[in-house]
Amino acid sequence: MSPSDSLGPPVQLRFDCECGALQVVQIAPAEGAPESLECSRCEGTLVLEAGRLDGDGGLFACQLCGHPELFSKKDVPRALGLMVVAVAAVLAPWTNYASLAVAAVIDFALYRCMPDVLVCYECQAEHRGYASEPRHPGFDREIAERLAFGKRAVMGKPMRAGGTAGAPEPEH
């Protein structure tokens, strides 16, 4: 079963190919998940495995590289957040700084309304539209350091059995 069979709307996989090209793949419910993806620039082939999904369309591991550790973050466009803050800062002297409070309310509303995106610690592929279960915690610096520096990592946390699916939020 593909992730989109049970969800309805299409899911999206976004990643950088080895050649540097940004790839965005939409998977429509009627089509199901493709078994492989081809880069439009270098024509390289990347294999996707459906075994990384549960029966309800939840993601246990990265569909691109297979790494079991993912983190969730809000899918808020950075440019939008920066624009809200910049406009509030410019207007602050004329609004007795009330515009900064309004910007905080807008920022909070954006945070609450925007969906989550799952990001792979290993290859930075972004997974959108998948089922919310199993839940993946937010970014954990210790996992990132272990993957980036290996044995040289000062604070590396050992990999949890089963990856981050259903793991608690980081303690820091």
What are the DSSP calls for 104-130, one per residue? Answer: HHHHHHHHHHSPEEEEETTT--EEES-
Q: Which helix H or strand E contains 170, and what residues bound it?
A: none
Please give the pLDDT value at position 49.
64
Please give the pLDDT value at position 2.
45
Distance CA 143, CA 124 (A): 13
User: Quick check: 59 and 52 in contact, CB under 8 A?
Assistant: yes
Pick the closest to residue 13 from 75, 76, 62 (CA basis). Answer: 62
User: Quick check: 40 and 23 in contact, CB under 8 A?
Assistant: yes
Please give the pLDDT value at position 154.
65
- Terminal-to-terminal C-alpha distance of the chain: 37
Distance CA 118, CA 120 (A): 7
Please give the pLDDT value at position 28.
55
Please give the pLDDT value at position 72.
92
Please give the pLDDT value at position 94.
94
Please give the pLDDT value at position 5.
44
Q: What's the token pair of residue 64?
A: 């691109």
**Residue ranges of the chain with pLDDT lower than 50?**
1-7, 29-30
